[in-house]
Amino acid sequence: MSLEKHVWSFDPETQAASPDELHEVCLDDESKEVPAPLPASSRPECLKNAAHECVFVALIAFAAATPIFLQRSVVVVAGPISGALQMTPAQIAWATASSGLTTGAFLLPFGYIADTCPVLPRKTLLVISLAVFCLLVSCTSFSQTGVVLDIISGLTGIACAANVPIAVGILSLVYPTPSRRKNIVFSSFLMGTPAATIIGGLGSGALALEISWKAPFIALAALYAAVSGLACVFVPNVSEPETEEKSEVRIIAEPEAFPILSIEAPKRKPKLLQFDWLGLFLLVTGLLLFTVALTIGPQGPEPWKTPTVILLLTLGVLSLGCFLLWENVTQTPMIPPSIWENLTVTLVKSI
């Protein structure tokens, strides 16, 4: 009994560990002190001073306002353009509507590409999209026919669809934490839309009256050439938030052998292949056919009764119906059906 008591006895002096022994037990010798995070209302570290921050927010606002600038430039000078290029009413309607149609149709895929692009950072994508927008807007002034103008306007709308999600994504990464500063920044960012409406409308009208219908597009291209250059300097390179990949635990049992426990990462498709490209095709095709039918429907000797209009309307409605059915079936829907269960979202979309 005495031996047993001696074995299980607890002596504080003998059991206490010295600081040197604790240091030797440390498992992470390369650990470094983690700096304390900045307060939520402080300026992000990637922005050097107040001037840098103001210029950055202004550039992001200009990048997101490309659809408004383009639409105002086309709508205000539609009269002079139709007279100079001898455009039909249908061609004028397409010149004003094609950019908005392509912008709305390609917002989701470009947003997904901006979030999942493994090669280029967001800053590079923003500069490239702004440069493409600048190039296409400058090409608009060289249009010789209404059809060419409509095509270039639609392509420019695709560039606008790339600018908006990339710009908003960069702003969200620079200001990730809710704070008073973030509210002020996003309020200032949203002021770009009404400012673009006023500046684009008044500036395009004045240039068209004083010079020609080509002047607003040349001025818009020069403006965004300057924005692209400034974006290379003042827009910071922000890193994407790290995401932890879940692993799968599998037990492999072979005949006449002990079971083996293995931990493996789940096999997934590349992120670009996970996007609902079929849904995008059905949506764009349906909107395009339906819009074309509405545009050419009132024309002709028998409005709304020609076989072409009826065929386009039918195919457009069928394509949109297939899109809705596909979104309820696919595992990676472009628009999750559960979003419509929220009454607030449904009311906002309806309005």
pLDDT, position 315: 92
Q: Is the dihedral of CA 333, 338, 343, 345 positive or negative?
A: negative
* Residue 263 CB partners (closer than 8 Å, separation 6+): 247, 248, 249, 250
CA distances from 339 to 118, 204, 331, 335 (A): 28, 39, 15, 8
Domain ranges of the chain: 50-234, 276-344
Q: Nearest Cα to 167, choosing from 78, 251, 58, 72?
A: 58
pLDDT, position 296: 75
Extract the residue ranges of the chain whose pLDDT is less than 70.
1-41, 118, 240-273, 300-301, 340-351
pLDDT, position 251: 52
Residue type, 45: E
pLDDT, position 204: 87
Q: Are 70 and 156 in contact (CB under 8 A)?
A: yes
Strands (E), the chain: 248-252, 260-264
pLDDT, position 135: 94
pLDDT, position 227: 93
* Residue 177 CB partners (closer than 8 Å, separation 6+): 40
Q: What is the DSSP string of 134-180?
A: HHHHHHHTT--SHHHHHHHHHHHHHHHHHHHHHHHHHHHHHS-S--H
* pTM of model > 0.75: no
Q: Are 126 and 114 in contact (CB under 8 A)?
A: no
Give the pLDDT confidence of 301-328 residue by residue, as tens digits. 677 778 888 898 999 999 989 988 888 8
Cα Rg of the chain (Å, integer): 29
* Rounded Cα gap, residues 115 and 271, in angstroms: 9
The DSSP bridge partners found for residue 261 are 251
Superfamily of domain 50-234: MFS general substrate transporter like domains (1.20.1250.20)
Phi, psi of 56 (to 5 degrees): -60, -50
Q: Running DSSP on this structure, what letter comes out for residue 41?
A: T
